[in-house]
């Protein structure tokens, strides 16, 4: 199954807030409660499926990629659900998004794919690159790279995104320093960007495939 490229507002209407997918918000329609149909009771399968879909659409993954991460998490030490979230959060595209260098994860992925991003002074064009503590993430010194990232920084400044404690964004009068951030440590569970995710239900969904 390929990466989702359809209407994004449609997904957040069904699954709830997905800040990594889009900055848009669905239009609220006020209906007469007497004409509103009674909500159907969700099956356990549907509940697990929707939690899995939240992860997939928020982080912009294909079904195969998400299953691969679940299998890696299952073989690692520690709670499988927590390890899964840490693997997804430490991806380069998500790290750029959490630093505020991109408005959404798809925009961050585009920056990486188009070779605008350096990790420890070297070009990295793989969005799934796993960031490690002490990694320095910056934009290239090309004018186009600076302009793109600065636009994203300006847009996120209008709607401030709390910087998670495992990341550091450098502030300086030097314009180049505005394009730099670093990873201080592996992210804690409480700092995960998708706040209401129930990762155990995702593991249960994939339990037969791990």
CATH for 118: 3.10.290.10
The percent of residues above 70 in pLDDT, for the chain, comes to: 81
Residues 17, 75 share a domain: yes
Is the residue at 149 inside a domain? yes
Do 95 and 175 belong to one domain?
yes
Both 95 and 84 in one domain: the answer is no
Cβ atoms of 133 and 180 within 8 Å: the answer is: no
What phi and psi values does residue 7 have, to the nearest 5 degrees?
Answer: -65, 125
Q: What is the pLDDT of residues 80-101, one digit of tens each?
A: 999 999 999 999 999 999 998 8
| Domain assignment of residue 35, yes or no | no
In terms of domains, do 148 and 122 share one? yes
Range of the domain at 80: 8-26+42-88+193-205
Give the whole-angstrom CA distance, residue 96 versus residue 86.
15
SS3 of residue 94 by DSSP: helix
- Whether residue 31 lies inside any domain: the answer is no
Which pLDDT value is given to residue 20?
83
pLDDT at site 94: 96
Is 124's pLDDT higher than 70?
yes
User: Over the chain, what is the mean pLDDT?
Assistant: 85
Rounded percentage of the chain residues whose pLDDT exceeds 90: 54
Angle at 140 between CA 138 and CA 144, to 5 degrees: 125
Each residue of 37-48: pLDDT tens digit? Answer: 666 788 899 999
Number of structural domains found in the chain:
2
Q: What is the CATH number of the domain that holds 56?
A: 1.10.1050.10
- In Å, what is the CA distance from 180 to each residue of 52, 140, 176, 192? 32, 10, 7, 21
Give the max Cα distance, the chain. Answer: 61
Kindly tell me if the per-residue pLDDT of 14 is higher than 50: yes
**Same structural domain, 83 and 101:** no
Q: Is 166 contained in some domain?
A: yes
Q: Classify residue 154: in a domain, yes or no.
A: yes
Q: What is the pLDDT of residue 39?
A: 67
pLDDT in tens, 199-209: 999 999 998 77
| Residue 117, in any domain of the structure | yes
Is pLDDT of 130 > 70?
yes
CA torsion 43→44→49→54, rounded to 10°?
Answer: 100
The yes-or-no verdict on residue 122 having pLDDT over 60 is: yes
């Amino acid at each position: 199954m390929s990466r989702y490229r359809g209407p994004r507002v449609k997904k957040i209407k069904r699954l709830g807030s997905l800040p990594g997918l889009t900055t848009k918000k669905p239009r609220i329609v006020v209906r007469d409660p007497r004409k509103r149909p009674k909500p159907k009771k969700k099956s356990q399968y549907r509940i697990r499926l929707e939690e899995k879909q939240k992860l997939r659409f928020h982080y912009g993954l294909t079904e195969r990629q998400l299953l691969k991460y679940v299998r890696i998490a299952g073989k690692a030490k520690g709670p499988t659900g927590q390890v899964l979230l840490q693997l997804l959060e430490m991806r380069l595209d998500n790290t750029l998004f959490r630093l505020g260098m991109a408005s959404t994860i798809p925009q961050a992925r585009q920056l990486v794919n188009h070779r605008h991003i350096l990790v420890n002074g070297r070009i990295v064009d793989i969005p799934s690159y796993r960031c490690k503590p002490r990694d320095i993430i910056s934009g290239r010194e090309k004018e186009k790279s600076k302009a793109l990232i600065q636009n994203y920084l300006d847009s996120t400044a209008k709607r401030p995104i709390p910087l998670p404690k495992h990341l550091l964004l450098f502030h300086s009068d030097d314009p180049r320093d505005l394009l730099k951030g670093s990873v201080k440590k592996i992210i804690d569970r409480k700092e995960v960007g998708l706040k209401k995710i129930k990762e155990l239900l995702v593991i249960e969904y994939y339990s037969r495939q791990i």
